[in-house]
Amino acid sequence: MVYLKTDEEIELLRENNILVSQTLAEVGRHIKPGVTTKYLDSIAEDFIRSHGAIPSCLGYEGYPAATCISVNEQVVHGIPSDKVVIKEGDIVSVDLCTFMKGFNGDSAYTFAVGEIAPEVKKLLDVTKEALYKGTAQAKAGNRVGDISAAVQDYVQSFGYGVVRELEGHGLGRKMHEDPGVPNYGHRGRGRLLEEGMVICIEPMITMGSHSIVFERDGWTVRTRDRKPAAHFEFAVAVRKSGPDVLTDFSIIEQ
């Protein structure tokens, strides 16, 4: 079910998504060689709770942590662990959600740890740019397929893989609402985008084959060929005038 949001509801979603951006920035400040993903998760959880929100990933369908932290060949839904130690040259995707005032925030960012290989840096740059290419299509009157095709065409022009099994989604009182927003598809197809829809666009892009496997923990998704993957996600309100991005990556990047 698609729930169209009022202007007031969009502002509550924006408050959540700004808190998510601030939390990602706080986690990013703590990412350095030697720290564990479990430690980074505790930083995020404390930050979210101290700002009066709840980390809505925790307990979601039984998920055991406040954040998903996926390193290198892990694509998404990596479970924070005291056994996963960050090292120089890693890429670390942090995905987290908040809940306050009846609404959710949801965003992900892939961080580079120190100096990373130039081809991995390129993967991060292209994945983030693909998110912006998709976002540019998020205006009333377009269709979900316009977003999907914009992401896919851009990414594939660099020879990267688009993960098929997971997709973006509507965001509101529930973390996952309709419509699904795949990162591959055809222009002009799929659900009509309407004023007041709020969606998360989240390209999950692989350096090699797009083929993935689920780890035995039941959550972690990694590339089958163990080549690196990147994930950037943010929330966008669809307006007649065009996309209104509710998340603020500049908070993370400054």
| Residues 103-132 contacting ligand MF3, CB under 6 A | 106
Residue in 65, 68, 147, 200 binding Co ion, rule: CB under 5 A? 200
| Residues 85-104 contacting ligand MF3, CB under 6 A | 95, 97
Tell me which stretch binds ligand MF3 (CB under 6 A): 14-22, 57-65, 208-216, 239-247.
57-65
Based on CB atoms, which residue is closest to ligand MF3, 53 or 68? Answer: 68
Residue in 15, 106, 177, 248 binding Co ion, rule: CB under 5 A? 106
Quote the least distance from Cβ 79 to ligand MF3, whole Å: 8
- Secondary structure (H, E, C), the chain: CCCCCCHHHHHHHHHHHHHHHHHHHHHHHHCCCCCEHHHHHHHHHHHHHHCCCEECCCCHHHCCCCEEEEECCEEECCCCCCCCECCCCCEEEEEEEEEECCEEEEEEEEEECCCCCHHHHHHHHHHHHHHHHHHCCCEECEEHHHHHHHHHHHHHCCCCEECCCCCEEECCCCCCEEEEECCCCCCCCCCECCCCCEEEECCEEECCCCCEEECCCCCCEEECCCCCEEECEEEEEEECCEEEECCCHHHHHC
CA angle at residue 237 from 246 to 27, to 5 degrees?
A: 25
Match 């992401």 to its residue by tokens. 151
Residue 132 interacts with, from Co ion, ligand MF3, none (CB under 5-8 Å by kind): none
Residue in 44, 53, 66, 68 binding ligand MF3, rule: CB under 6 A? 68
Quote the least distance from Cβ 186 to ligand MF3, whole Å: 23
Tell me which stretch binds Co ion (CB under 5 A): 47-55, 66-74, 103-111, 212-220.
103-111
Nearest to 194 by CA among 237, 236, 141: 141
Based on CB atoms, which residue is closest to ligand MF3, 116 or 168? Answer: 168
Quote the least distance from Cβ 225 to ligand MF3, whole Å: 22
Tell whether residue 60 is a contact of ligand MF3 (CB under 6 A). yes
Tell whether residue 45 is a contact of ligand MF3 (CB under 6 A). no
Tell whether residue 231 is a contact of ligand MF3 (CB under 6 A). no
> Which residue's C-beta sits nearest to ligand MF3?
63
Are 185 and 154 spatial neighbours (Cβ–Cβ below 8 Å)? no
Site string for Co ion, 142-181 (x = CB under 5 A): ----------------------------------------
Tell whether residue 236 is a contact of Co ion (CB under 5 A). no
Burial class from Cβ neighbours inside 10 Å (0-12, 13-18, 19+) for residue 36 reads middle
Give the interface with Co ion as residue ranges (CB under 5 A). 106, 200
Q: Which residues bind ligand MF3 (CB under 6 A)?
A: 57, 60, 63, 68, 77, 95, 97, 106
